[in-house]
Amino acid sequence: MIKRENIQIRDPFILTIKNDMNYYMYGTTDKNAWEGKPTGFDVYLSKDLENWDGPFAVFRPTNDFWADQNFWAPEVYFYNGMFYMFASFKANKRCRGTQILISNTPRGPFITHSDGPVTPANWECLDGTLHIDNFGDPWMVFCHEWLQVQDGEICAIKLTRDLKCVIRDPILLFKASEATWVYPIAKSNSADEKNNFVTDGPFMYTSENGELLMLWSSQGVEGYAIGISQSTTGKVEGPWIQADKTLFAKDGGHGMLFKTFFGELMLTIHRPNNSPAERVIFLPLVESNGSLDIKF
Task: Check residue 39 and give its pLDDT.
Answer: 96
pLDDT at 244: 94
* Amino acid type, 86: F
Q: Is the pLDDT of residue 191 over 80?
A: no
Place 290 in a pLDDT band, splitting at 50, 70 and 90.
confident
Averaged pLDDT score across all residues of the chain? 95
- What average pLDDT does the segment 80-104 reach? 97
At the top level of CATH, which class does the domain 2-294 belong to?
Answer: mainly beta
Q: With pLDDT > 70 as the criterion, what percentage of the chain qualifies?
A: 98
pLDDT in tens, 221-234: 999 999 999 999 99
Residue 189 has pLDDT above 60, yes or no: no
Say yes or no to pLDDT of 145 above 60.
Answer: yes
pLDDT in tens, 159-185: 999 999 999 999 999 999 999 999 998
User: Taking the CB of residue 9, how many other CB atoms lie within 10 A of it?
Assistant: 19
User: Domain-by-domain residue ranges, the chain?
Assistant: 2-294
